[in-house]
Amino acid sequence: MSIYSRGNLLRGLLLGFAFLSQTVPAEGRFLQDDEKQPSGEALFKKVWKSNEVESTDSGDGLGPMFNAISCVACHNQGGMGGSGDNLTNVQILTVLPRQDSRRNFRLDRLALEMLFEQSAKLHPDFKFKNSTILHRSSSEIAQYGNWLKDVFEFKSVAKTTGFESNRTMMEERGRLLSETPIYRVKKGSAKDRFTIQISRRNTPSLFGVGIIDSISSNDILALESAQKKKGGPVKGRAPITNDGKIGKFGWRGEKSSVAEFTSQACAVELGLSNADHPQARMPFSKSPQAGKQSHDISKSEIKKLVEFVNSLEPKPAKLPETGNESQLLQKGQELFNFIGCADCHVQTVGIAQNIYSDFLLHDMGSELADASHSIERKVHSFYGGREEVEFEIKNPQRWQTPPLWGAALSAPYMHDGRADSFHDAIIVHGGEASTSVDKYRRLSPADRKMVLEFLQSLGQESTLDEKPNPAAHGWGPPPRKSRKGRLVRN
């Protein structure tokens, strides 16, 4: 080959590389300098804004539907990555079929078809499922406000506060089960009536999720098998995700990995569409698509975010300062095991030591039932254009056992944050846990205190943890809650 030919070939290759660098999307540019992208920690603390995208070629930034403006806005208790106060609870909007004369929900095919047809007029998500997120904010403020006003007539629900020492434990349990009701309104004509339900989910802690992600599915299935063979009321089920994997994340084990959990949280909570999950759609949108197809956060950024979340270590238990304190904590743990709490809150699962969970779904009783995400409409297409509609109905009374490592830093408790203390959390348990609650009630006050002291030792806040700045991240410090006569978080 002549020098002239080699020169032309070299110029052609250079032009080709230049062309590729201009046309390949940002996520696929092999010449992109990865060091210029923000770290996972910076992304976790980043305050996102509408119509502001730096890392991708297109997108609309924050929203249009969102619950917070940063990850740390919700995950901050006990340090960056912790749980959230009730101020950050996610609200879930659910539609349910009309009830029969016995006040049971009709779940026949006709009633379900009617439910999805009528409720889709309220929100496009209801075309295929009976629940969607009721977001706190929208970049389309006026339109969203009008939609809320048209759909709901919000009424403030009075919440009983204060602690009366002369109340029995069962009376206190009744108060806890009734003071945070699931709010329901009826919609539609008498013929096509259905019920709208608003419930909530408390923000979980992310400490130690990297270890949880590494727990073998076989370890969880072994616990399921052991409980089944043992007999008795505790018979947990391993949560199975839509892709057939064992679920470890979410209050019902909806996600099997930190990566799935993170990409969905970015899309749903912040409105950041990504390659793995579309952003939440606006309820008044007529488009069949869930928002724009462009991405607000890149694959590489999601990867860095996942790496940072996986690096958050579990909070260690508080070490006793004296021999007497050590004995009291040991006795508290023995009582915790004796009353049956350890049947579900298993101390060690696979590689996860002192995690206190079995990651199984347990029937917590009708009083804690929540029908959100309990019905899914699946459409199967066949040759010739024929469609087959299938409804999957899930048990609304089952909840996954949450890990207790670091739990002393995670109040409030339960899936909806209704329990301000460990005592409250224990007595509202029902269903499979009823026997344990009864044993707890029968303990002497001194023994109950030792159980609570043991739980209160699960999680010590490090002085090295960075405290997020409330003003910078769009959240305020939660009000201090204290009730006379019980242990509360400092």
For residue range 162-176, what is the model confidence (pLDDT) as tens digits? 334 456 777 777 777
Residue 207: name the closest of 343, 81, 367, 105 by CA.
Answer: 81
Backbone angles phi, psi at 389, to 5 degrees: -100, 130
Q: For the beta carbon of residue 461, count every other beta carbon within 10 angstroms.
A: 17
Query: How many CB atoms lie under 10 A from the CB of residue 397?
Result: 20
Is it the case that residue 140 has pLDDT exceeding 60?
A: yes
Residue 27 is given by DSSP the state G
Chain centroid offset of residue 334 CA: 31
Tens-place pLDDT, residues 308-317: 999 999 999 9
pLDDT digits over 300-357, tens only? Answer: 999 999 999 999 999 999 999 999 999 999 999 999 999 999 999 999 999 999 999 9
**Stretch (H or E) spanning 337:** helix 323-338
SS3 197: strand
pTM: 0.83
What is the rounded average pLDDT of the residues 245-257? 96
Q: Which residues pair with 90 in a beta bridge?
A: 201
Separation between Cα atoms, residue 94 and residue 347, nearest integer Å: 35
Most confident of 176-185, 234-243, 277-286: 234-243
Number of separate helices (H) and strands (E) present in the chain: 14, 10
More confident call, 195 vs 231 = 231
Average pLDDT over residues 365-374: 89
Pairing of strands 183-187, 398-400: unpaired
Residue-wise DSSP of 127-140: GTBSEEE--SEESS
Distance CA 358, CA 399 (A): 12
What b/e string do you get for 374-390 counting C-beta neighbours within 10 Å, with b at 16 or more? bbebeeeeeeeeeeeee
The pLDDT score that the predictor gives to residue 357 is 98
User: Which residue, chain included where needed, has tokens 């101020």?
Assistant: 87
Mean pLDDT of 154-183: 55
Judge whether residue 427 has pLDDT over 90: yes
Q: What CA–CA distances, in Å, run from 239 to 113, 208, 265? A: 27, 20, 19
For residue 280, give Cα distances in angstroms to 216, 250, 434: 32, 18, 38
Confidence of residue 99 (pLDDT cuts 50, 70, 90): low
Contact 235, 358 (CB under 8 A): no
- Model confidence at 287, pLDDT cuts 50, 70, 90, reads low
Contact between residue 47 and residue 70 where contact means Cβ atoms under 8 Å apart = yes
Residue 262: its pLDDT value, please? 98
In the numeric block, the tokens 């602690």 are attached to 163
Mean local confidence (pLDDT), 439-459 = 97
Instruction: State residue 197's pLDDT score.
Output: 82
Residue pair 322/329 in contact by the 8 Å Cβ criterion? no
Residue 205 sits at the vertex; the CA angle it makes with 202 and 208, to the nearest 5 degrees, is 155
Q: How far apart are the first and last CA of the chain?
A: 79
